[in-house]
């Protein structure tokens, strides 16, 4: 499965045949999976709590490395239930891949570069092209995140899940369609990405 040359919703990927000898190049062996599982158990035993663990495999030596471990924050909040009532629905102004199961609302802040991070206030809806680890301080302030690029495993999606805030990624042109200061609602449970608060109240 590879990305297709289209942004049409539901058609962004396509199936492509791969020779048999190349199909397992990026796969782990059963022994490697067991080794990672053992290391994960040791790490969680050390910290005494569930951990979100990232690993990497050296492309030359095949050696496995644990590159990051931090407290798990998604499943540990799985029993928390929040209910929202939308009294009316506004016009959809951007669509993409929905991340999370919550609703966020606030004024739009279109950020083109990390040097503008001081413009973000708590509760703003962060709208940008794409994020990376340098953006995390301002992502923690946002009530929702909207990006032009990215998929379900991109940086913005991962951090949004960890923070428990809604995100819509891969919108294509959100930074052009959404205007600074505009009040919006980001609703992802039903994949209603971004709607105008002028006619949509939480």
Which residues participate in catalysis according to the annotation?
155
Q: Give the whole-angstrom CA distance, residue 42 versus residue 38.
A: 6
CA separation, residue 132 to residues 34, 106, 107, 117, 187 (Å)? 31, 22, 22, 13, 23
124 with 142: CB under 8 angstroms? yes
Among candidate residues 139, 66, 67, 133, the one with its CA nearest the CA of residue 100: 139
Three-state secondary structure of 45-108: HHHCCCEEEEEEECCCCCCEEEEEEEECCCHHHCCCCCCCCCCCCCCEEECCEEECCCEEEEEE
Q: How many residues does the chain have?
A: 202
């Amino acid at each position: 499965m590879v990305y297709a040359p289209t942004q049409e919703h539901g058609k962004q990927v396509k199936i492509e045949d791969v020779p048999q000898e190349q199909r397992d190049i990026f796969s782990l062996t059963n022994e490697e999976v067991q080794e990672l599982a053992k290391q994960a158990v040791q790490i969680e035993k050390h910290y005494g709590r569930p951990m979100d663990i990232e690993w990497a495999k050296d492309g030359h030596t095949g050696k496995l490395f644990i590159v990051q471990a931090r407290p798990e924050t998604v499943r540990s909040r799985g029993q928390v239930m929040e209910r929202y009532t939308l009294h009316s629905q506004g016009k959809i102004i951007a669509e993409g891949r929905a991340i999370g199961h919550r609703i966020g609302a606030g004024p739009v802040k279109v950020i083109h570069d990390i040097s503008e991070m001081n413009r973000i206030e708590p509760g703003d809806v962060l709208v940008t092209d794409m994020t990376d680890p340098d953006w995390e301080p301002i992502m923690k302030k946002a009530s929702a995140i909207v990006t032009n690029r990215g998929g379900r495993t991109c940086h913005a999606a991962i951090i949004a899940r960890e923070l428990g805030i809604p995100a819509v990624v891969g919108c294509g042109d959100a930074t052009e369609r959404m205007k600074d200061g505009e009040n919006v609602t980001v609703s992802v449970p039903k994949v209603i990405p971004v709607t105008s608060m002028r006619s949509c109240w939480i």
